[in-house]
Structure 1
């Protein structure tokens, strides 16, 4: 027995970002009204997508953003480790990949899947992202969050990034995806986040790596990618799978064939989903460009911090640029004293000009003096 976290259309009214900017969230399904359906939404004139056991799924064309088919696209469920895609999309631009990190005991002792971090070993941020996306290391997720300034700051950053991407079904409570009350995502959001990640070369590099050497207290050991389709599906790029006893199976993955990329996301699958995902990818490739899409993966909203501000006119002087003494005196003046001050300053200026003219005439008559 399980309960969906919230209704599809119960979207928040607004979301405050770390920059202080609020993005107004829509009250209709993101990507198109048809995506608000709980049932299967598929194009007409072609064979329906292969049957699968996922409660929710999305098949989309990464290049165009066209959603080719979906089922309960905006249904909000526990994401498990697929949430690590948001962790990576958020933190890759923020952290120097060559920065060296000595993980805390807290990071090394995270429950669930781990890459095996040791507090006695120094890692590069690059190593930690590899562990996060290849080996689904919950310890790596915590180490990255702590490197970013702590869990609270990282959750704020991740949720801000989700809203910027218009992934309004997503609420991050942990950097790893470990179950926590209130945490959620949707098949639509997972596809949206994946599309943003695929635009980042570093993200693509991590998710497509099959095996890699990983630092250890003495030497190194080999880690491998948990995405089984990397090893056996033609054109597979990778991305992320996840599982917990409450979330059940979840997955988001993308593949490229003939210069086109298809992404598939599934949520709440009770069993072995790899073969079903492969068939959904096959179907996506077979219909892309031939059918009317049922929806759209929307583009990210503009980042307010990236919008240049208009420069002030050259004659503008801010209060901070004024002499402190005159500024303080000016604030204490009444209207009458300001008028008197203006008269005094004006009179002094006139007197100065007369005196200057007199001096010039004297120099012309008597010559310069040393």
Structure 2
């Protein structure tokens, strides 16, 4: 290994009650003990992965589930809009894509990034998933949650799905990924969720669509574009999801296929422009897959209704914990008070926003969290 792995204190076994099914959390890092390291974990005998400013990342082979390299794979961070991957994966099987709904005022007035829902228009569920995964619409996320029986039920369903996937670092508090105390995910979990999503034809269709016509009131339409820049720039890019808030910073999970093989890369808490870095990490993954000993694996989902496998008491394994967390989960979410709104990918400062709204539309003010994508 390039980085020495130092085992630290054991995780405390716990049981999560979600959706009526009990899933026992593991006592060692999911996917292999090496993935509990906070540092870089990479195979020997090949060039190290390209440098990345991301605090945490995972590079994995989707077909085999082999984790080729990782850095702080199980560190828990605010996921921002990458959490929408879990929203989509949870709700696509539950909602009829041809069903038509009229969104509530609550859904249309969600803060942050929006696809532009109007209570005066009707939308197919299929349209809402496009708005969710292409334009990162927080309004679409809430409309889908309400179509699933309400916010509380949807959050229960999403957390149950996370446990079924063995994505134990993930706790969903919102369907959109907007920061909220207690919400978290990890680079490992994002890769796990993306891998499961890629097996769903509708999920794959939504994330790979570059542009689409979106309904508007009075039978009109307008064009929306996918926020994933690599769909236009990287050979074989399938897509998945990017996210950003002022507290979470940039996050991204993406997958590409070349030569019949698919590589997924997930990053969390990146401070700057990450697209070129992700492209290089993908290139590295394609160059070493099938040639190196993996450092871990993306585990398969649990059979429905069955608890997670437990460690044998007679042969306890060494245990490690994920990275110690910086003060950016509960504390950061509570401080998310920036008065900024994003529509699509354009950020408008709070003061300017008020003036524009007052002059152009004459509608009410409301506080907005700074949120792109």
Fold agreement, TM-score > 0.5: yes
1:250 maps to 251
CA distance in structure 2 between the aligned counterparts of 1:21 and 1:210, rounded to whole angstroms: 38
Q: What SS does the corresponding residue of 1:304 show, helix, strand or coil?
A: coil
Q: Is the 8 A contact 1:58 1:69 kept in 2?
A: yes
| TM-score normalised by structure 1 residue count | 0.79
1:320 maps to none
Q: What SS does the corresponding residue of 2:302 show, helix, strand or coil?
A: coil
Alignment of 1:123-134 (within 5 A): 123-134=123-134
CA distance in structure 2 between the aligned counterparts of 1:200 and 1:10, rounded to whole angstroms: 32
Q: 1:156 to 1:28 in 2, by over 3 A?
A: same
1:81 aligns with 2:75: no
1:33 aligns with 2:33: yes
Alignment of 1:291-310 (within 5 A): 291-304=292-305
Shift of 1:304: 2.6
Alignment of 1:107-256 (within 5 A): 107-218=107-218, 219-256=220-257
1:3 maps to none
Shift of 1:184: 0.0
Q: Deviations over 1:266-298 (max 9, x none)?
A: 000000000000000000000000000000000
Gaps of 5+ in 1: 1-6, 306-370
1:95 maps to 95
CA distance in structure 2 between the aligned counterparts of 1:147 and 1:217, rounded to whole angstroms: 20
Shift of 1:12: 5.4
Shift of 1:9: 5.7
Taking only aligned residues, the RMSD between alpha carbons, in angstroms, comes to: 1.2
Q: Which has the higher helix share?
A: 1
Q: Is the 8 A contact 2:129 2:140 kept in 1?
A: yes
CA distance in structure 1 between the aligned counterparts of 2:13 and 2:151, rounded to whole angstroms: 23
Higher RCO (CA 8 Å, separation ≥ 6 residues):
2
- Larger C-alpha radius of gyration, 1 or 2? 1
CA distance in structure 2 between the aligned counterparts of 1:102 and 1:8, rounded to whole angstroms: 51
Shift of 1:21: 2.3
Shift of 1:204: 0.2
Q: Is the 8 A contact 1:9 1:29 kept in 2?
A: no
CA distance in structure 2 between the aligned counterparts of 1:190 and 1:94, rounded to whole angstroms: 21
Q: Is the 8 A contact 1:8 1:36 kept in 2?
A: no
1:274 aligns with 2:269: no
Q: Is the 8 A contact 1:243 1:250 kept in 2?
A: yes
CA distance in structure 2 between the aligned counterparts of 1:275 and 1:159, rounded to whole angstroms: 32
1:65 maps to 65
Q: Is the 8 A contact 2:21 2:160 kept in 1?
A: no
Q: 1:213 to 1:72 in 2, by over 3 A?
A: same
1:15 maps to 16
CA distance in structure 2 between the aligned counterparts of 1:8 and 1:174, rounded to whole angstroms: 30
CA distance in structure 2 between the aligned counterparts of 1:269 and 1:16, rounded to whole angstroms: 32
CA distance in structure 2 between the aligned counterparts of 1:11 and 1:167, rounded to whole angstroms: 16
CA distance in structure 1 between the aligned counterparts of 2:94 and 2:164, rounded to whole angstroms: 16
Q: Deviations over 1:200-255 (max 9, x none)?
A: 00000000000000000131000000000000100000000000000000000000
Gaps of 5+ in 2: 1-7, 307-373
CA distance in structure 1 between the aligned counterparts of 2:25 and 2:246, rounded to whole angstroms: 31
Q: Is the 8 A contact 2:239 2:254 kept in 1?
A: yes
2:287 maps to 286
| TM-score normalised by structure 2 residue count | 0.79
